[in-house]
Structures are given as C-alpha cells and as structure tokens.
Structure 1
C-alpha cells in the first residue's frame, strides 16, 4: 500500500503541474482577450482543481503512513536537518496552503459575475498556488 501511494503521489504530481500550467495560461489568455467565461472554461479550471485535491488527499494519507512523514516530527531532530524539515513540515504545510489558494480561486470564480474577474481569479490564485507547489517539491528525491 505504501509503495502504491508513493507512486500515486508522484504520478499525479506531474498531472497537477501540467493541468495548472494549462489552466493558468488558458485563463490568462481568456482574460486578456476579453472573451466570455463559459461552462467549458469552468470545467477546464475544475480539472486542475480536482487533480490538486486528489494529490492533496494522497499526500495526506502518505504523510501519516510513511516513516518519513509525521513520525519525523515526533523524533525531535527534524528541524535541524533541512531534508527532514522539508519532508516533515515544509512540503505538507506549504502545499496545503497552495491547495487552499487554488480552492479559493475556483470558488471565487464561480461566484463572480464579470468574465474578466472570473478569469483573473483563476489565473492569479492558481498561479500563486503553482509557485508555492514548485517551491516545496523535493526535487532531489523526485527526479532521482
């Protein structure tokens, strides 16, 4: 189960990054071109929204079943080691904040009236979330 969760969390990460990139560019173009926000636009934003939440769920489950997650905090030495601190605290905390921002951007876009404001809500909040996610990816573990 643990190995399967690791693969799910790593595999979905690629999909999340790709989906966020596409949605941010798509919403930015929509805002700059002044076109109407349609149901298709909402569904495209929803794909990145859903994928990011699947990633969060897989990550939270992995955090509590992994020997590298929550258990590192109880050992006491995680804060002195940068790699342990990233795994035990920074990666999960910053990514939760990123998913919250993506959720706020999507939810606000559903409530706003003007098309430009809807696009802006999506591309701004998704972009901030995207940057936060990129800042806390454990690149050394991920790419090896």
Structure 2
C-alpha cells in the first residue's frame, strides 16, 4: 500500500507543480500587463486549488503509512537532529501544508474582489509564495532519482 501511495504522491506532484506554475505565470502576466480577468483565469486558479488539495490529502495518508513515520518512536526529539528525518517528518509536511493554505487564501481573497486587477493580484501573490515554498521542500535527490 505504501508504494502505491508513494508513487501517486510523486506523480501527482508533477501535476501540481505544472498547474501551479501555469497559474502563477498567467496571473503575473495579467497583473503586469493590465489585462482583464477572464473565465479561463478562474478555471486555472480553481484547478490549482483542487489539485493541490488532493495532493495534500494524498500526502497526509502517505505520512501515516510511511515507514519513516516510525522514526518518531525510534528517535523521538532526536528527529530534529537528523537532517533527512527532519525533512520528511517535519519540514516537508509543514511547509507544504502552509503552501496549500496560501493557495486557499489566495483563491478565497480573489473571489471577493470586483475588478480584474484586484482579482488577479491575490492569485499572483499567494500562489507565487506557495510555489516558492513547495519548491524549497521537495526532496529533489529522491524525487528526480
């Protein structure tokens, strides 16, 4: 079961990153180009929200079925002294939860705005910060191997 969820989490991450990059680039181009907010922009931001939440749910399941979770009982507070254990058990989950929360906040804020620039600005800001956070905590050595 662990391997299947791990593979799903890994491959779904490519989709999340792709859609998030598209959403960020789209919002930034439209904000700096003074372009109008369109239905396409709504769909892109909504799809980003959906795929990121699905990834979060997959990640939560993976966290608890992972053999790495047993390191909490083996190492206790020593997890923080082990860089690899800290990445998998603390940094990666926490930072990615924050990133998904930022995507959610950006999406929620944009819905309340009335003008095009005001709608695109929260998406550009919050989605960009979320992208940076996600990229910072991906275990690249394992993911690209």
Residue of structure 1 equivalent to 2:14: 14
Note the 1:1-144 alignment, pairs <5 A. 1-69=1-69, 71-75=70-74, 76=76, 77-144=78-145
Following the alignment from structure 1 to structure 2, what is the Cα–Cα distance between the partners of residues 88 and 13?
18
Following the alignment from structure 2 to structure 1, what is the Cα–Cα distance between the partners of residues 86 and 32?
40
Give the deviation of 1:38 after TM superposition. 2.1
How many residues are paired up? 143
TM-score normalised over the length of structure 1: 0.94
Following the alignment from structure 2 to structure 1, what is the Cα–Cα distance between the partners of residues 71 and 92?
13
TM-score normalised over the length of structure 2: 0.94
Secondary structure in structure 1 of the residue aligned to 2:142: helix
| Structure 1 residue ranges (4+ consecutive) displaced by more than 4 angstroms after TM superposition | none
What is the Cα-based RMSD across aligned positions, in Å? 1.1
Give the deviation of 1:140 after TM superposition. 1.4
Gaps of 5+ in 2: none
1:42-64 per-residue CA deviation (whole Å, 9 max, x = no partner) reads: 11111111111111010000001
Give the deviation of 1:32 after TM superposition. 1.9
Following the alignment from structure 1 to structure 2, what is the Cα–Cα distance between the partners of residues 92 and 31?
31
Following the alignment from structure 1 to structure 2, what is the Cα–Cα distance between the partners of residues 92 and 20?
18
